[in-house]
Amino acid sequence: MTRAGRRARDGMAMSTLDTSTTDFLRDIKVLIVDDEHYTRKVIGTLLIGIGCTKIFEAGDGAIGLEMVRTIEPDIVLIDWEMPGIDGAEFVRQVRSPGSFPLPNVPIIMLTGHGGRSRVLEAVRLGVHEFLLKPVSSGALRERIVSVLTKPRKMVRYGRYYRPEPRQPATSEPAARRGGKAEVDPAA
């Protein structure tokens, strides 16, 4: 699909949003934590395009942690690769119920690194969702709405505090054999 086709599709999707979703997105506080100024601006523009109006930015993980404490965002969008406190360390610090005031804040990791090991590490650390850059407004809207309207219970897995895993879909081959799909509790 061409870039213009994707823009038209995303625009059509936005025009079909119901009023309650539009109101919902307008009222949430979103914190973007990314060391790249241009990336923060692009993500901010996407958020404005889907109806978000309360958008905050942090240029590094340390400022992001302080902003979580002070503005109490409804959701955090964070980059993985940053100098100093990177995305992984940010998530580790936030997901510390004994020492961080808002350990349950939903976190979506936005990164250009989509290797399986990176995704599994992000989930293990406690992110709610993982999106690859460049991200579309439709994917961003879908994940934000899903995370905030279908919250998952936060649970402790060993030393990690994270959202309870989703119920896995049964794999086609296992279902045909009468078996069950297996879930790795460490994932």
Instruction: Please indicate, yes or no, if residue 142 is contained in any of the structural domains.
Output: yes
Instruction: Please indicate, yes or no, if residue 133 is contained in any of the structural domains.
Output: yes
Look at residue 155 in the predicted model and tell me its pLDDT.
95
Instruction: Please indicate, yes or no, if residue 99 is contained in any of the structural domains.
Output: yes
Instruction: Please indicate, yes or no, if residue 125 is contained in any of the structural domains.
Output: yes
Instruction: Please indicate, yes or no, if residue 76 is contained in any of the structural domains.
Output: yes
Average pLDDT of the chain?
A: 84
Confidence of residue 178 (pLDDT cuts 50, 70, 90): very low
User: Residues 79-115: pLDDT tens digits?
Assistant: 999 999 999 999 999 999 999 999 999 999 999 988 8
Residue 19 has pLDDT above 80, yes or no: no
Report the pLDDT averaged over residues 26-35: 97
Instruction: Please indicate, yes or no, if residue 48 is contained in any of the structural domains.
Output: yes
Residue 42 has pLDDT above 70, yes or no: yes
Look at residue 166 in the predicted model and tell me its pLDDT.
78
Residue 175 has pLDDT above 60, yes or no: no
Residue 137 belongs to a domain with what CATH number? 3.40.50.2300
Pick 137 or 18 by higher pLDDT: 137
Q: For the chain, how many residues are written?
A: 187
Q: Which domain holds residue 133?
A: 21-176
Asked if residues 134 and 47 have their Cβ atoms less than 8 Å apart, the reply is: no
Please state, in angstroms and rounded to a whole number, the distance separating the CA atoms of residues 184 and 187: 5
Number of domains in the chain: 1
Instruction: Please indicate, yes or no, if residue 97 is contained in any of the structural domains.
Output: yes
Look at residue 170 in the predicted model and tell me its pLDDT.
56
Q: What is the DSSP string of the chain?
A: --HHHHHHHHHHHHHT--HHHHHHHHH-EEEEE-S-HHHHHHHHHHHHHTT--EEEEESSHHHHHHHHHHH--SEEEEES--SSS-HHHHHHHHT-TTT-S-TT--EEEEES---HHHHHHHHHHT-SEEEESS--HHHHHHHHHHHHHSPPPEEEETTEEEEPPPPPPPPHHHHHTT------TT-
Look at residue 14 in the predicted model and tell me its pLDDT.
41
For the question of whether the overall pTM of this predicted structure is more than 0.95, the answer is no
Instruction: Please indicate, yes or no, if residue 186 is contained in any of the structural domains.
Output: no
Confidence of residue 49 (pLDDT cuts 50, 70, 90): very high
